[in-house]
Structure 1
């Protein structure tokens, strides 16, 4: 299933909709203003929070966490020793790791688990500068979590 992210460059609180490939509103990213640390909520179309994204306050390297129901689900950070290209990793609460690699600045990258691609992020299909697609390739993948990981990487790369 493909999802389309169209960020509004100067939106107050960074609020924007993520639509599915049929143009239906699938998720809403609600940027919370006036918080000590950067906070985003990923909501379903009815307004129910499916994930909360926080920038870690104290960390040697930039990191963001994704929480669900108050528990940390994923921690996303830049990989220490990425030799030929920039890479990020997403450490799952279960102890497993997702690899995020590709052209992060150009928004052409993959999210992989043990060498298998779970999602491809690409702006290839769009002429708009602030739009990109998240193609969740596995039916059994947690689309909300993969979208939240992509949003984290996008935010962290933009801040660098």
Structure 2
């Protein structure tokens, strides 16, 4: 299923909708103001339920974000330290989503990247699929954890934008 997300609007107090490819509201990314650390809540449009909380870690060697569900960490997202040619990000999974990792690689500046788990593509991010300005699409494979993968995309977008603020 494809979702549309605005690029690089994630900041304290920023809110925006993630929609389906048909323009229907699916999730609200609610940037929480007045918090000690950057925090976003991903809320289901139909139920209003918080399906994920995304937080930037306060103290870490490199920029890191965590994804929580029901007050339990389910993923830690950070840039891989050793990459040969391009940036890569890694989401280390735990808790209810099991162990393992999601490797995220591609062209982050142009929003053209892939999420893979165990060598299998589970989501594809592309700005080319839609002509809407400042918007990119996330195509999540059938049967995958949609809130988790949308949250990982939010983390990667936010971390990359912080590291490369001059890139548009």
TM-score by length of 1: 0.94
Partner of residue 70, structure 2: 69
Per the TM alignment, residue 64 of structure 1 is displaced from its structure 2 partner at its CA by 0.2
Structure 2 unaligned regions, length at least 5: 164-168
| Other-structure match for 1:107 | 111
| Higher deviation after alignment, 57-66 or 125-134 | 125-134
**Cα distance, 1:12 vs. partner?**
7.0
Aligned position for 1:39:
39
Distance 1:103 1:15 in 2: 25
State the shift of 1:106 in Å: 1.1
Post-superposition offset of 1:107: 0.7
* Aligned position for 1:79: 80
User: 2:82, 2:11 → 1: CA distance?
Assistant: 35
Equivalent residue, structure 1, for 2:166: none
5+ residue gaps, structure 1, are none
CA contact (8 A) 1:9 1:130 kept: no
Q: Which residue of 1 aligns with 2:59?
A: 58
CA contact (8 A) 1:8 1:15 kept: no
Q: Residue 131 in 1 paired to residue 132 in 2?
A: no
Choose 128-137 or 2-11, whichever is displaced more: 2-11
1:116 aligns with 2:120: yes
Q: Secondary structure at the match of 1:5?
A: strand
Runs of 4+ in 1 over 4 A off after TM superposition: 7-12
Q: CA deviation at 1:23?
A: 1.6
Give, in whole Å, the separation in 2 of the partners of 1:78 and 1:87.
Answer: 6
Distance 1:39 1:10, change over 3 A: closer
Structure-2 change in CA distance of 1:38 and 1:118 (3 Å): same
Q: 2:148 aligns with which of 128, 138, 145?
A: 145
Distance 1:159 1:84 in 2: 20
Question: Aligned Cα RMSD in Å?
Answer: 1.7
**Which residue of 2 is the match for residue 88 of structure 1?**
89
Cα shift at 1:8: 8.2
Using the size of structure 2 for normalisation, the TM-score is: 0.89
Query: Any idea what the Cα deviations from partners look like across 1:39-70, whole Å, max 9, x if unmatched?
Result: 00000013210000000001001000000000
